[in-house]
Amino acid sequence: MEREFSAGGVVVKGDEVAVVVPYRLAPDGRKVLALPKGHPDPGESMKQAAAREVREETGLQAELVDKLGDVTYWYQRSGTRVLKKVAFYLFEHRGGSLEDHDQEIEEARWMRLEDAARKLSFKGEREMVARALSRLGADR
C-alpha cells in the first residue's frame, strides 16, 4: 500500500466559492468539477501547498483563514492501492483573476457555495464546502 498527501483550498468570496475543471478526466471519463488542490513541493508545509495550489489553479490571491478538515480515500494506480489524504483549508478571496489559472486547468469559475456543496464531483470536497458554509454562517 502506498500513501499520498495533498492540500487544497476552499476560496470564498461572499456566498461564492472558486471551483476548477481540470483537463484530467475522472476515472469514468467524465469532466471533474473540483476544488483546487495538489501535492506539496519539497520543504513546503500543507498550508503553503494549499495556498500555492489555490494561486496556481485559480489565479486568485487568497488569505488562509483556518483548516476545514481532511478528506481520506483509496484509489488504484497501476494496480497498487493508494491511500490519499487531502488537507483542506478555508481561504478568503483577496484579489487576482480567474483568467490567470495554470495550464492544468480547463476552467476556473465562481459558483454559489450552496450549489458547489451539491455539484462538486467528489463527496469529500462537497463536505468541505458544506463545512465552509456552516462556519461562514456562524460568523455572519
Q: How confident is the model over 93-111, as pLDDT tens digits? A: 999 999 999 999 999 999 9
Average pLDDT over every residue of 15-34: 91
Q: Kindly state the cell numbers that stand for 47.
A: 498550508
pLDDT of residue 138: 57
User: Where in the chain are the domains?
Assistant: 2-139
Query: What pLDDT does residue 140 have?
Result: 47
Cα 118 to Cα 101: distance, rounded to the nearest angstrom: 24
Q: Which CATH architecture has domain 2-139?
A: Alpha-Beta Complex (3.90)
How far is CA 4 from its chain centroid? 16
Under the banding of pLDDT at 50, 70 and 90, the label for residue 25 is confident
- pLDDT, mean of residues 59-78: 94
Parallel/antiparallel/unpaired status of strands 80-96 and 16-22: unpaired
Amino acid making up residue 2: E
Q: Letter for the amino acid at 82?
A: V
Q: For residue 55, what is the enclosing H or E element?
A: helix 46-58
Radius of gyration of the chain (CA): 14
State the pTM of this model.
0.93
Q: Which of 32, 49, 50 is nearest to 105 (CA)?
A: 32
